[in-house]
């Protein structure tokens, strides 16, 4: 669904859309969509900026950052986003921005494609360190075995750690 400036100049736009798995492009992020993503809300023009408010709901999968097993992540978030035309910052020199402006995104053209907005918000919803469970033991650094499944019996890396001298003190 495309939200156009022309449409917003007339009136606020309300929307309710569903994106089935495989429709969104997560731009190389290691995210797999498991369920339909539902996004409902409204868009309005506020002083030359597009303001989008709504709620995003769905389930995605990401690999555990310790053992690489799949982790299901529920995405359920309320959004209140501002988008400004990119031409407002198209300058050659560097410009300092205020803290409030750091939370503003930019768009090019005649409006915003909701698909792109939803993809971005799903990527942002994935934790920096996604783990399958807090007590996850991860992979053995020597043989690569998943230590949650089996005890491989490895003593540790064959080479000495570059931090081994720190243990002596």
At 156 the pLDDT is 60
Segment 15-71, tens digit of pLDDT: 999 999 999 999 989 999 999 999 999 999 998 899 999 999 999 999 999 999 999
Q: Do residues 97 and 139 lie in contact, with contact meaning Cβ atoms separated by under 8 Å?
A: no
**Coil/strand/helix, residue 35:** coil
Q: What is the DSSP letter of 107?
A: E
Query: Has residue 137 got a pLDDT over 90?
Result: yes
For 75-101, write each residue's pLDDT tens digit. Answer: 999 999 999 887 766 555 565 555 555
> pTM (2 decimals)?
0.78
Q: How far is CA 73 from CA 65, 67, 98, 131, in A?
A: 13, 16, 33, 10
Q: What are phi and psi for residue 49, nearest 5 degrees?
A: -110, 150
Strand, helix or coil for residue 44:
strand
| Of the listed ranges 14-18, 51-55, 113-117, 142-146, the one predicted with least confidence | 142-146
């Amino acid at each position: 669904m495309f939200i156009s400036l022309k449409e917003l100049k007339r009136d606020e736009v309300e929307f309710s859309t569903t994106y089935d798995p495989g429709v969104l492009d997560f731009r190389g992020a290691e995210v797999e969509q498991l369920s339909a993503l539902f996004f409902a809300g409204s868009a309005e023009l506020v002083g030359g900026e597009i303001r989008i408010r709504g709620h995003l709901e769905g389930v995605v999968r990401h690999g555990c950052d310790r053992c690489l097993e799949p982790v299901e992540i529920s995405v359920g978030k309320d959004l209140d986003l501002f988008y400004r035309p990119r031409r407002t910052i198209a300058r050659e020199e560097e410009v300092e921005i205020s803290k409030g402006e750091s939370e503003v995104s930019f768009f090019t053209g005649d409006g915003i494609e909701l698909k792109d907005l939803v993809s971005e918000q799903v990527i942002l919803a994935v934790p920096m360190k996604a783990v399958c469970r807090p007590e996850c033991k991860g992979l053995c650094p020597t043989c690569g075995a998943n230590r949650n499944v089996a005890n491989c019996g490895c003593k540790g890396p064959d080479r000495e750690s570059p931090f081994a001298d720190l243990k002596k003190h």
